[in-house]
Structure 1
């Protein structure tokens, strides 16, 4: 306990009094071991090593990554999945659903730092379409079987890898660009292009991390930005700085020929069928290089040349990515302007797809299962958008949390409270800043999906004018009422030479039926030309109206209430109006806090805390805390709100409002970033920021000035608030300095996506298209029986041909199917049952002149007895099938002989039709009216399409059977 306990305000000593010296002596030392304990670890560790008095530990988990992949996604051969490299993992996405079906995490070899395992490049093995090859900053090449999520091989080249490319002409070889360590051990701007063999050296063939059996240097370049092979494999091209490096694959020993560009090159793409390539530069130019047909010197070391190029220019800023369409007729480009440009190469014309929503980082082209061409755009806010090549419209987009550090805030201060963060308890969602500073996004942690986006301040999404960024309206605060029915936002824009600053208070109403926010009231300049410093909704006990309090730089504290207006001919309308305004002798309030029962309102002033009664607007009490120096905020603690925590720059004072005394005083080891009170217990958390890379969170109880536990975390906080969406005794949600959304708490559990771990790709995620046979015979005969009789198999794996028709026969990609000429007989054997041999069906042969006695029973009708069908088909489907194949595939055979017993054997397709009694079968097919046709051709079944009962026999007389 601190020395000052239960004393009157005037009895509190000044900060440098002996009492504070006594307090400092009681605090743990910051030197020696104590200093080592307080240091933030590089990795996530157990808190028990950091806590001064508790052995329990806190957990923390990240809801999303702040990293945005700058590597173009790679599609599988059948276009069902694509790979995205984020940090040290490869995420496998399903194209149709956008969900992560598997995550391949590269293992960390012994001796490598965890911060150096970032993946930088990936490619598919040209000789095995189910193998993925990745490269990392740690200098590791990893070969994956992505269908089985199995790591096949690790090759260490001991140099950071930047780009990778392969070609089918070079089996078991990859070509990479790798940095060259300088003499001092640091990585400089020099790099090498290496030819690396995937075959391990003999000495390391049995170890986990292997060495390549052959590494051949091709040439030296600057820091590379692109590496690619020509379609024929005759040329290898790398770009770096202002140069394009070209090497002939026939003589890699000759090195590179350098071609100079007037601007720094940023991206590279090869034409799919011709030997020329395209590059983009930092000034927005796209150049087509026709240098591969020039007479390149045999030994071009140090030679710099210029060649014929074609320039395409539209982009105002750097070109981030380019890609050719598969037919080579179009070139796609994108960049900071958030516009996809489609260039028609033969005519030079261009088309645009504007307002993508965020700067374009990557472009990939793929064909879906239906054969339609699609463009996949990787955006700067970690969103993937699919664009149809025919419609040039975004068909679908997939994103989790949209956080773009460059677009949301241009290097804001780490201590600035201008990052909005709120929890909407009614829908269990988070309200966060979006990729544009004038929008909010609503994210669901339970489903890991982005629910919607709220554009608070409509604005033009222009990137920048020339080199000066355009300052849009920024959302500084977003506060949700305790009832979850109201949302208050504050958006501002700084003034410049030609215009005044703007400030808007907007109050939104939650439509529970529609499930989105509706703007209810907008207040222009709620505090004049000054900013809104804080805002808070009042708790809403039953019978009390909801109030909103705002404080501003103009020194005023304003209270807002709901007003109801009823039109004579219309419904009742609710909107917000100003209820009262108060000021405090030209002192600017900085923070506002409500007591849990809404009976008190604490207004934080620079040197004191003013307690107001919101119902009467009367000043109830004033608290002075000289220990804190400049008071920054005050917070009610506990469910009853008996205690008030006053926060200074590095001091914390706890007041007992019932006794009107200071309960204790604590001097922290660093600046206090935020304080979060527990909504049900008399405890609270204090966030201490030491830097942008590490912080400490201390948990305090009201009965002790010593924290009960302390946790060091390897990130800084932009904003933090209480997180009620998990079953934990204490939980927080925060936006970190590097734009991660993390949850901290006691034994928290956040459900992870199914694809967040390595797992086999068990089935095709895309809905199966109806085949031609399903359109003819219906889906019941194929789909249901297929799922019951055959287990699911990977969509991209070639299944062995079993000869059974209708069981996924046409579900694979075209290149995985057997030859067409081999399909007919297996299909027919699967659809039709083989006929019973005719000789075995009859005991004797009947001559042409023999008379046959036929039983006459005119009332009996021909009964079609169905065999024990193994497939779930009804009579109608069977009739249509028999008629189809009878008409188009079967020819009439010899008449069925008559049994020697004098009775015609009723066989249709080899099945006995006379079970249950004798019947007469007409030797000719009946006409629709029941009259026997004059033809003597014998049929095996009644005509399809006749809905009347089976036709009875014509008569019961004896008839001579002709074998002709």
Structure 2
């Protein structure tokens, strides 16, 4: 079983002490990525729900210099201590309620797992949900902040504060303060530096007229910055002078805004400020929002610089321990590693593209997924008019393709929608359909594009043909490819379908023009066409015309037969291998799954299912359907809202059933892994991807739980080698081979264009000018065969 498609940017990641690894919250696991290669190194498995916080223990003692330790918190109500160099779980603390955020002041004093065995008292501040029965539920307070003694695995003191929902806790770099944003207020607590006494913790509140969304502490001075929902940044200087350093004590229920001066206000962002972070020396303040731009503010005068063109809203930002790199998490499920201080992107850790909102088009079904069954790839649409190609077996992005060449900003309104992606059976050809939305009911257009794969090594597609308005003003409902030949069919709601063929024509000499052209046009009683499919051998083309299925010869465009009819419009159809059956689905008020027999052109059996997706095996009689649980049935405690059913055409009873989550908007497909042992001889796997782009791959014909493993872990299971001694300062020495000459010889092999190479190389190794000029001028002379005169 393989799972993947996790959200990499749901919570902030953390750098390792050597800045060579990045620990990322990926669902219920902690993934350790290499910042040098961007590949997955290992995973920490043990939590049973979302991991929300990662705190890496700094290296300050000789006892922990070799090992790499970290604390993690999760919604499963546990805090765990790991040695992520060996993926070993050292300690588990049960809190028994969801933990949304955790910070650990003075975490360097922790010596868990060290050889000395000594332990110093360590406390964590945690933000939990509905921890106590004494929560003021009538006031809608669901979040609480507690103190946990990590050394003795217990809570200490009472509740620091209660909020409407659990809030993220921010710790100052000096470990002296921590704070949260709570609507229009910022709560700041001073942390006792000697002994953690709950009664000695003091708190102040800073107020604003707008809702806060982010905050940051200065590394050395008592300066705090807060960002609100309007894009403004407020900077308070010398906060807490009276409360934290005077005799004044804030009683419960009261507040104090005792900064020595009113806050400075900076404004550039047009939307809420998602993150704020001070530089290590406190000179600059970094901010990020929806525009996809890091703004660098000079704290002294407010002058700003920009690091633009990330192409997606920014979520989190942090510098590494050695200050050589930093990361920025983007909303498109990418984490960029930047080199400081130039802020150049050196590596990108890319996950599967996350769903994004776009306008719906009337009467046009949107297929944002396309499976390459032969290689286990999925193509899915992304923002910025891109299509991402993602390896399901490796959980790795292969490449991206921009379908529409346009300038795009994350704050722009969506005016063009890619609503159809289609791949040929071998993945060599791709078809895309994008629609330009009309402005005030004026304009609008539909464009069909065909793309040809360059090569498997280059991993990309070249644009082959662009067809504007292929069905006049009607929208395209489906695009399918012939299984064996370069033939494609597009159907439209206007009532016609077109057969496209790939042609090659010669113009002039040595010039070839490739492209797709329309070979034939067909229709059936001018009814809107909603779906299409080729048979396994490509001899029959099935097209859904409202409630009936029409069968055509794709080469002659002759109508063969009609199968009908259903009670509602057909939304999807496919041939079940070479079994002689056609599967159709209907949605709406009367959903239905129907299996038709081609031998007698009648219904074989049917179910009143709300089907979200179907997939058929190319060679065989099995097919799988993804159905939705009716709204009248309440979901169980695990919130499963759908089922995957495996059928054999010869019997209406499912062979196997699996319950799934987030089925609405999901897709299923049989895929084959060519790189696995056995190759094409193995039975196909079944892939399910849900509406959040999380997926699972399993063998539907085998009941074993663990059948296959992710290859990324097999190839990158060991941690990267660390440099010590001379290599850590000056780098590794080059390898010397005594058998080779100290000065490499220059080749003078004859060439038709020798000037392209004879001047290459170091100046002290080049031959004399006499030899170079002689070779150069000889190459310019016309060579003729010698003729003997006798």
TM range (shorter): 0.7 to 0.9
Question: Per the alignment, do residues 774 and 756 of structure 1 end up closer, same or farther by CA in structure 2, a change over 3 Å counting?
Answer: closer
Q: Distance in 2 between matches of 1:768 and 1:656?
A: 75
Partner of 1:805: none
1:2-151 alignment, distance < 5 Å: 61-65=2-6, 67-107=7-47, 114=48, 117-125=49-57, 130-151=68-89
Alpha-carbon distance between aligned partners in 2 of 1:768 and 1:421, rounded to the nearest angstrom: 51
Provide closer, same or farther for how the CA distance between residues 343 and 225 of structure 1 changes in structure 2, counting only shifts above 3 A: farther
Pair 1:411–1:769, CA change in 2 (3 A): farther
Equivalent position SS for 2:692: coil
Task: Look up the SS of the partner of 2:320 in the other structure.
Answer: strand
**Does the CA-based 8 Å contact 2:8-2:351 persist in structure 1?**
no
Return the alpha-carbon distance in structure 2 between the equivalents of residues 350 and 591 of structure 1: 54
> Structure 1's 411 and 225: CA in aligned 2 closer, same or farther, altered over 3 A?
farther
SS of corresponding position for 2:461: strand
Superposed CA deviations along residues 78-102 of structure 1, whole A, max 9, x for unmatched, are 2222222222222222221222322
Question: C-alpha separation between the residues in 2 aligned to 1:147 and 1:770?
Answer: 19
Deviations 1:450-505 (A, max 9, x none): 1110111233332336xxxx124222222222353321111123323164223110
CA distance in 2, matches of 1:364, 1:278: 15
Is residue 9–residue 335 contact of structure 2 (8 Å, CA) maintained in 1?
no
Kept in 1: contact 2:625–2:668 (CA 8 A): no
The aligned counterpart of 1:689 is 628
Residue 436 of structure 1 pairs with residue 383 of structure 2: yes
Question: 1:535·1:550 contact (CA, 8 Å) conserved in 2?
Answer: yes
Indicate yes or no: 2:689 matched with 1:751.
no
On the 8 A contact 1:222/1:241 being kept in 2, the answer is no
Are residue 678 (structure 1) and residue 678 (structure 2) matched? Answer: no
Structure 2: how far apart are the matches of 1:768 and 1:645?
68
- Following the alignment from structure 2 to structure 1, what is the Cα–Cα distance between the partners of residues 380 and 317? 26
> Cα distance, 1:527 vs. partner?
1.9
2:107 paired with 1:164: no
Q: Secondary structure at the match of 1:421?
A: strand
Distance 1:175 1:527, change over 3 A: same
Q: Give the Å deviation of 1:383.
A: 1.4
1:451 maps onto 2:395 in alignment: no
Match of 2:257 in 1: 305
State the partner residue of 2:645: 698
Kindly indicate whether residue 183 of structure 2 is the aligned counterpart of residue 241 of structure 1: yes
**Structure 1 residue 158: Cα displacement:** 4.1
Task: Summarize the alignment of residues 860-899 of structure 1 with structure 2, pairs less than 5 Å apart.
Answer: none
Matched, 1:536 2:475: no
The equivalent of 1:334 in structure 2 is 288
Aligned to 1:204: none
- When residues 526 and 735 of structure 1 are mapped into structure 2, their CA distance, relative to the original with a 3 A threshold, is farther
- Give the match for residue 324 of structure 1: 278
2:660 matched to 1:713?
A: yes
Q: Number of residue pairs matched?
A: 686
Q: Give the 3 Å change call, closer, same or farther, for CA 313–725 of structure 1 in structure 2.
A: same
CA, structure 1 residues 602+231, in 2 after alignment: closer, same or farther (shift >3 Å)? Answer: closer
CA RMSD of superposed structures (Å) = 3.5
Q: Does 1:502 align with 2:456?
A: no
Q: TM-score, normalised by structure 1?
A: 0.65
Relative to structure 1, the CA distance from residue 306 to residue 753 in structure 2 (aligned partners, 3 Å threshold; closer, same or farther) is farther
* 1:365, distance to aligned residue in structure 2 (A): 0.7
Q: Which position in structure 2 is the counterpart of 1:785?
A: none
**Contact 1:594/1:600, CA 8 A, preserved across alignment:** yes
Structure 1 stretches lacking a partner, 5+ long: 1-59, 108-113, 201-209, 782-871, 877-964
Q: 1:766 and 1:555, CA in 2 relative to 1: closer, same or farther beyond 3 A?
A: farther
Deviates more, 1:506-515 or 1:245-254: 245-254
Q: Report what 1:792 is aligned to.
A: none
Match of 2:318 in 1: 364
Residue pairs, 1:564-643, within 5 angstroms: 564-626=504-566, 628-639=567-578, 642-643=580-581
The residue aligned with 2:755 is none
CA distance in 2, matches of 1:182, 1:411: 44
How far 1:154 sits from its partner (Å)? 2.4
Structure 2 gaps of 5+ residues are 110-120, 631-638, 675-680, 743-790
2:420 counterpart residue number? 477
For 2:274, what is the secondary structure of its paired residue?
strand
CA distance in 1, matches of 2:697, 2:83: 33
- Determine if contact 2:74/2:100 at 8 Å carries over to the other structure: yes
2:378 corresponds to 1:378: no
Q: Does structure 1 retain, via aligned residues, the 8 Å contact 2:2–2:393? A: no
TM-aligned CA deviation for residue 353 of structure 1: 1.8
Name the one with the larger strand percent: 2
Q: Distance in 1 between matches of 2:531 and 2:171?
A: 61
C-alpha separation between the residues in 2 aligned to 1:763 and 1:325?
29
Measure, in 1, the Cα distance between the counterparts of 2:17 and 2:282.
19
Change (3 A) 1:412 1:507: closer
The Cα of 1:603 is off from its aligned counterpart by 1.5
**Shift in Å, 1:508:** 0.6
